[in-house]
Amino acid sequence: MNQPLPAGGRSTRVAGAAARWVLGKIGGGLFVLWAVATAIFFGIRMIPGDPAEAIMGGPGSQASAEALAQARADYGLDAPLYVQYFSQLWRLSTGDLGTSYSLKTPVSEVLGELVPPTLVLAVLALLVAWALALVVAVLSTRSGALGSALASGLEIVSAAVPHFWLASVLIMLFATALGWLPPVSTNAPAGLVLPVATLALPLAGFLGQVMRDTLEAAHRSPFALSARARGESETGVLLRHSLRHAALPGIALSGWAFGSLLSGAVVVESIFARPGLGRSLLSAVTARDIPMVTGVALLSAGAYVVIMAFSDLAERLADPRMAGS
Amino acid sequence: MNATAPLLRVENLDVAFGETPVVLDVSFTVNPGECLALVGESGSGKSVTARSLIGLAGPGSTVRANALEVAGVDARGLSQRAWRSIRGKRVGFILQDALTSLDPLRKIGKEIDDALRLHGSGSGAARAARVVELLEAVGLDDPVRRASQRSGELSGGMRQRALIASAIALDPALVIADEPTTALDATIAAQVMDLLGGLRAAGSGMLLISHDLAAVANLADSIAVMQGGRIVESGPAERILGDPQHPYTRALLAAVPAGKPRFAPLSPASTRASTPLPDTPQESQAGGRPVLRAEALSKSFTVPGGPDFAAVKDVGFELHAGRTLGVVGESGSGKTTTARMALGLLAPDAGTVELFGEPWSQVPEAARRTRRSALGAIYQDPLSSFDPRLSAGALLADALSFGATRNPRKHAAKISELLALVGLDKDLAGRNPATLSGGQRQRLAIARALAPNPRVLICDEPVSALDVSIQAQVLDLLDDLQRRLGLSYLFISHDLSVIRHMSDEVLVMQGGKIVESGPTEAVFTAPAHPYTRTLLAASPGVVSGR
């Protein structure tokens, strides 16, 4: 630790480490996608009921035995399980997500329509959560012990609030009682406010807790004192030193946070009747629409893998101490 | 500004946090080209005094003074904006422990550049050139590359130099240095003191803050001794060091181990354990079988992306009953790796360790476990070696019962006895170690090490984190325990004066090898190896004291 780095060969070693890192991320990501595809394939077959019925329009469709047999043959459901498994893996690996049982359209087409609204929701929620967490953290370091305690209480409460409850309260308050915002979400800015707030507030609580702790510690640290002794202003200490330290745990948590936003979207999109991946996943599971469930799950897993890689990369860029690890 | 006017004039300075006074009625002046040392132990108010001089005493503080002139400016009731124009420009402030005093996320060149930029000094390119010039001036090799490195990539001495560079970037008339060498090895500390001496010779006024009178002796023109927030004695350095008047100054001087013979007490009688010692030291058996013997120990560690690092190469020693074997060397010399192999915590790549003449390092842990009680260890940072959930009593119960119980009531009598042995009040058994002072924690660590009734203690930098006065108490305690219980010590330290005071025989380590060994007096009075001579030259008090 105390030894300075040797001068020679550093750049080639860094390049080698970067290549290893990228290959590791790709390999790990492929493994995760395979594991998800496998878990979904076997998991969904444990739900009682006949997928052929789902193809024919659900349990209430009263399709004839011949029609069901025909559907099984059409969709390859009469083959042995291992044959189905490997042919599905093969199709998925060529990028073919299959055709939705209930919608009868290619899954990739359906997903293409559903991804943008959910992505807008999740990204906005993440940004708002970061902004809220930072504002509360900065304000609390400026307002002493009382402000810090108040911020901490606020963060714990908001982190503990479940999405469905928060959504109901927000609808009752801002849509029903005050009438300021629509209770049903649209892509118009006003329609986005309540769903984004529902997702962002609990996340802001989580992020705020770790970021405020780090910010306060950085503000009290000897390097902050050094900076002040150099003539740095409080704002300068915040911008050039403390905020960067506070961002580190936030960045580390953001990959995880994005995953939790995707699962939060299931609840929020249903409550606000908003089209998106989450709501479609819910209806696809209910309808035993195997290709749709598989497609949504793989897409979410893929998005999660990519986001985690980016958050890891962002962490390395923000914290040069991690570059060697 | 008048050239003969003092750079710093403080009259009747009072600093309080809320209702608690921390600095009381402190007055001093510093003239250009002059160095005043403010000396006292932790909590004496010296750091708060220093920070008050740049308006950074801290949140919740009240600063009052009849006069507070800093670099020609009346600093009483100054606005934050006015303070910022003084900090860094007229007053350079160097904190201790450069590892945490430089932002680990930023390049050191940026940190130094900040000082220039904040006071509007030149264009970006001019500033970049000045940064390199400064890094060169403080003696860093390859300054262009160093400017783009971060504090974590530099050694302790380099970091301290970089921190000094950031403080003197604008040639401040006054430099305040708070324990600038405390965390450094002797040779590095001597270089940093030389660097500060050069600044003073160039005409800077200097306020030097330290807990160690010996550390400031070479640089200070005058010394002010602080205790409990007040200056209890002040005057020219030679007078304070040669003819101290106040009992506290005398105690501080007495606490310096340099030049004090083996077993001579360093701390005042009131702070030592009260039970009388046996008159004669326990019979030492230099000729008998060694209690701990190491032969040809070697250990390498793998370094990611580099060649293996040989931490210890061919190290052998013998420790005899009732004796102390000192191991001295700078950071990275392999002292701690040797200690860990002696403790049986790390398997040597080659070589053997024998405990009481029987194999120790080469047998499996199961065979060692029953004999572990004979071997104890104390470390530099006792707090991190304590389970934070356990009270002092529970820690001792745990050690007394070999982990069977943590209930202090089961061993109440023995716990009181152990606490008395190390000079701690038995009421401390109920306290959490985090609430104890540094000296109390190290005493507790010693009590815990003594709980299984060991014959050999391995002491790895046991006093390095302590103030000189507390260090004196802990060293006296170790002396006292050695004579009372006939213990043998393997005593590791980077501090030559501590090693000379504590050891019968000494090993000098450099780069994982023993470069010199022998009876302490012989090694210190007639060093044979050039490295030993370098180390001794860097610690002036160690040789001249006797």
CB contact under 8 A, A2 and B80: no
Predicted local distance difference test score (pLDDT) of residue A6: 45
Predicted local distance difference test score (pLDDT) of residue B507: 94
- State the smallest CA–CA distance between residue A220 and chain B in angstroms: 10
- State the smallest CA–CA distance between residue A293 and chain B in angstroms: 44
A8 at B interface, C-beta within 8 A: no
Q: Which residue of A has its CA nearest to B113?
A: A230
CB of B541 within 8 A of CB of B495?
A: no
CB contact under 8 A, A229 and B95: yes
Strands B20-30 and B67-70: unpaired
Instruction: Provide the chain B residues 279-308 that lie in CB contact (below 8 A) with chain A.
Output: 304-306
Distance in angstroms (rounded) separating the CA atoms of residues A63 and A68: 7
- State the smallest CA–CA distance between residue A183 and chain B in angstroms: 45
Assign A300 to helix, strand or coil: helix
CB contact under 8 A, B95 and A13: no
Predicted local distance difference test score (pLDDT) of residue B4: 64
What residues of chain A lie within 8 A of the CB of B158, using their CB?
4
When CB atoms are compared, the residue of B56, B149, B155 closest to A225 is B56
CB of B480 within 8 A of CB of B273?
A: yes
Mutation target to probe the B interface, by most B beta carbons within 10 A, among A1, A2, A141 is A2
When CB atoms are compared, the residue of A231, A241, A321 closest to B152 is A321
SS3 content of chain A, % helix, strand, coil (to 5): 80, 0, 20
B163 at A interface, C-beta within 8 A: yes
Cross-sheet strand order for the sheet of B35-39: B91-94, B174-178, B205-210, B35-39, B222-227, B230-236
A241 at B interface, C-beta within 8 A: yes
**For residue B39, which of B279, B217, B181 has the smallest C-alpha distance?**
B217
Q: Which residue of A has its CA nearest to B146?
A: A4
What residues of chain B lie within 8 A of the CB of A323, using their CB?
none
A11 at B interface, C-beta within 8 A: no
A233 at B interface, C-beta within 8 A: yes
CB contact under 8 A, A231 and B89: yes
Q: Helix H segments across B343-459?
A: 365-369, 392-400, 412-421, 438-450
Are B8-255 and B292-389+453-538 the same fold in CATH? yes
Instruction: Provide the chain B residues 193-252 that lie in CB contact (below 8 A) with chain A.
Output: none
What residues of chain A lie within 8 A of the CB of B111, using their CB?
226-227
CB contact under 8 A, A241 and B80: no
Predicted local distance difference test score (pLDDT) of residue B304: 67
- State the smallest CA–CA distance between residue A6 and chain B in angstroms: 10
CB contact under 8 A, B105 and A240: no
Q: Which residue of A has its CA nearest to B53?
A: A229
Mark residue B358 as left, alpha or beta (left: phi above 0; alpha: psi -120 to 50; beta: remaining). Answer: beta
A43 at B interface, C-beta within 8 A: no
B171 at A interface, C-beta within 8 A: no
Predicted local distance difference test score (pLDDT) of residue A181: 79
Cβ neighbours of residue B239 under 8 Å, at least 6 residues apart?
A: none
CB contact under 8 A, B84 and A144: no
B88 at A interface, C-beta within 8 A: yes
CB contact under 8 A, B142 and A7: yes
CB contact under 8 A, A2 and B331: yes
CB of B162 within 8 A of CB of B112?
A: yes
A247 at B interface, C-beta within 8 A: no
Predicted local distance difference test score (pLDDT) of residue B42: 83
CB contact under 8 A, A223 and B167: no
- State the smallest CA–CA distance between residue A320 and chain B in angstroms: 7
Mutation target to probe the A interface, by most A beta carbons within 10 A, among B51, B79, B96, B114 is B114
B121 at A interface, C-beta within 8 A: no
A7 at B interface, C-beta within 8 A: yes
Q: What is the pTM of this model?
A: 0.78
CB contact under 8 A, B150 and A4: no
Number of H helices, E strands in chain B: 21, 21
Mutation target to probe the B interface, by most B beta carbons within 10 A, among A14, A142, A215, A223 is A223
CB of B436 within 8 A of CB of B390?
A: no
CB contact under 8 A, B101 and A223: yes
CATH superfamily entry for domain B292-389+453-538: P-loop containing nucleotide triphosphate hydrolases (3.40.50.300)
Distance in angstroms (rounded) separating the CA atoms of residues B172 and B116: 12
For chain B, 546 residues long, the average pLDDT of each consecutive 10-residue run is 74 91 93 92 88 88 91 87 90 83 90 89 87 88 88 83 90 91 80 88 91 85 93 93 91 85 80 52 58 93 78 93 92 89 92 92 88 90 86 92 83 90 88 87 92 93 86 92 92 91 94 93 92 84 45
**For residue B376, which of B456, B320, B490, B319 has the smallest C-alpha distance?**
B456
Helix axes A243-271, A189-220, angle to 10 degrees: 150
SS3 content of chain B, % helix, strand, coil (to 5): 40, 25, 40
Residues in chain A with pLDDT < 70? 1-14, 57-61, 187, 323-325
Predicted local distance difference test score (pLDDT) of residue B152: 82
CB contact under 8 A, B103 and A241: yes
- State the smallest CA–CA distance between residue B183 and chain A in angstroms: 13
Instruction: Provide the chain B residues 9-48 that lie in CB contact (below 8 A) with chain A.
Output: none
- State the smallest CA–CA distance between residue B336 and chain A in angstroms: 15
CB of B159 within 8 A of CB of B331?
A: no
Distance in angstroms (rounded) separating the CA atoms of residues A298 and A41: 11
Look at the alpha carbons of B308, B309, B314, B320 in this order and tell me if their dihedral is positive or negative: negative
CATH hierarchy code of domain B8-255: 3.40.50.300
* A217: its two tokens: 């510690």
A142 at B interface, C-beta within 8 A: no
**For residue A111, which of A272, A311, A289, A264 has the smallest C-alpha distance?**
A289
Predicted local distance difference test score (pLDDT) of residue A5: 45
Distance in angstroms (rounded) separating the CA atoms of residues A102 and A19: 44
What residues of chain A lie within 8 A of the CB of B154, using their CB?
4
When CB atoms are compared, the residue of A2, A230, A324 closest to B87 is A230
What residues of chain B lie within 8 A of the CB of A13, using their CB?
305
Domain boundaries, chain B: 8-255, 292-389+453-538
When CB atoms are compared, the residue of B100, B145, B156 closest to A221 is B100
